[in-house]
Amino acid sequence: EGLKPTQDKLYTKRKCIGCQFCVQACPQGALKLTAEEGIVTDYSKCIMCGKCADACPSTAMEVAGQNYTVDYLMNEIEKEATTIATSGGGVTVCGGEPLMHADFLLEILKRCKDEGIHRCVDTTLFAAEDTVKRVAEYTSLFLVDLKHMDSDIHKFYTGVPNEKILSNIRMISELGADFWIRIPLIVGVNADIENLERSAEFLASLPKQPQIVNLLVYHDIGKGKHDRLGTSYNPEKYSFEAPSEELQQQAMEIFRARGLKVKIGG
């Protein structure tokens, strides 16, 4: 579900009928039925073989993430060639972080370019400069997250500093790449006026500015996914809030004042 570069398993308790077919199918004995939590997985034993999901008649148990070859994906893309051509669309590669799988990503982008298909890469740009350069050569459009201008605050909430990200944004701008910037607006994290002004000034200083800045209002719909993964949403109980309409308008004016095209939403 984007939290790991590998497969993961989801369990929806309300869909479980208690048949225990998944328990019987597990070759590692990693599952058991409990009265309070339904099916519980011992992940120290689970090898993510997917046999539990295959055996589940109610789709309460699912495996998120599949392994694909480049040829398989290109075959799927080519099935949509007519729709892509008539709609003016293309292929968007996202994740997770697609630059974590740079060689596979490059092969897909090259094959799509050979077919004349528009190629969009949805990324944080937290990657080595050389990787970004190679990907940029075969990418029609980048969708890039800009979460915070302060590196320490960025690291506090995301686990990594932002210098590499800012440097790569500037680099793709210097390369003349087309890119959009998306900024999640979260009160208590990055929706303060100081950070918004610093973000706008940085983007306005680029040799080629983003085609648009999307301000994405905070929501918590990911809570359901965490429930299915057996993990906790915001376990540290940070104060995350959506910005008011007034603050959203203020934010847009900050970017417009610096000559940037901006909108609320993607």
Q: What does the pLDDT look like over 133-166, one tens digit per residue? A: 999 999 999 999 999 999 999 999 999 999 999 9
- The confidence score (pLDDT) of residue 66 equals 83
**Tens of pLDDT along 8-34?**
899 999 999 999 999 999 999 999 999
Q: CB within 8 A of 27, min separation 6: which ones?
A: 47, 49, 51
**Tens of pLDDT along 195-231?**
999 999 999 999 999 999 999 999 988 888 888 888 8
The alpha carbon dihedral of 179, 154, 162, 94 has a sign of: negative
- Give the CB-side neighbour count of residue 92, counting CA atoms within 13 A: 11
Give phi and psi for 185, each to the nearest 5. Answer: -95, 110
> At which residue do the structure tokens 């972080």 appear?
97
**Tens of pLDDT along 71-124?**
999 999 999 999 999 998 999 999 889 999 999 999 999 999 999 999 999 999
- The confidence score (pLDDT) of residue 65 equals 84
